[in-house]
Amino acid sequence: MRLITFEGLDGSGKSTQARLLAEWLREAGYTVEMVREPGGTDISERVREMLLDPRNEISPFAELLLFSAARAQLVAERVQPLLDEGTLVLCDRFFDSTTAYQGFGRGLADPGWLDGFHRKVTGGLVPHRTYLIRITPVEAAHRRRGRSEDDRMEAAGEPFHERVAEGYDWLAAREPDRVHVLDGTRAIELIATDIRRDMRQMLDGGTAGRS
């Protein structure tokens, strides 16, 4: 049982990489389930709508609690049961997003406090591997141009996203064994190849999730 998470700024390409990895793993015979944060359950999807609606004014601490509530429901209802069945779970964002966006971006809490809080929310569940697709805030904003209206988080402004990027860099430096950093400015297929290579090494000799 393994939980693999994907992190990065909005526009980094993390969702694309999660989808490509899921396709590759299924072709290799693994049972794979993809989920996203916030979302993945009826309750969590409703929380997602509240959090991302640009019309809503949400205090920073309420924002942290709402993201975490959606995560707690997702883990309890879907992620942990799937892992218990031996399924490989790929999650588009997890608690590292809260550390980066609310901890660093909103300046809410010291990382030590958040570490303990995350463990309570997830029942102690920690990703086996996290792929951080790294791009600059300027590149992220450029990629989002031409999309429909930014959601509430995307519209938070460049200084906010710079702090988020700093948070991700801090996480990568603190947990290099878990957080695998990839240059998000490279071609999509090159990034996917690096991820597949790392996954091969991780799964070599194992049978978790394989049908």
pTM for this entry: 0.92
What was the pLDDT predicted at 211?
43
Summarize pLDDT for 96-151 with one digit per residue, the tens: 999 999 999 999 977 679 999 999 999 999 999 999 999 999 998 888 776 666 77
Instruction: Report the 3 state secondary structure along the chain.
Output: CEEEEEECCCCCCHHHHHHHHHHHHHHCCECEEEEECCCCCHHHHHHHHHHHCCCCCCCHHHHHHHHHHHHHHHHHHHHHHHHHCCCEEEEECCHHHHHHHHHHHCCCCCHHHHHHHHHHHHCCCCCCEEEEEECCHHHHHHHHCCCCCCCCCHHHCHHHHHHHHHHHHHHHHHCCCCEEEEECCCCHHHHHHHHHHHHHHHHCCCCCCEC
Summarize pLDDT for 119-133 with one digit per residue, the tens: 999 999 999 999 999
What is the third-level CATH fold of 2-203?
A: Rossmann fold (3.40.50)
For 86-94, what is the mean pLDDT?
A: 98
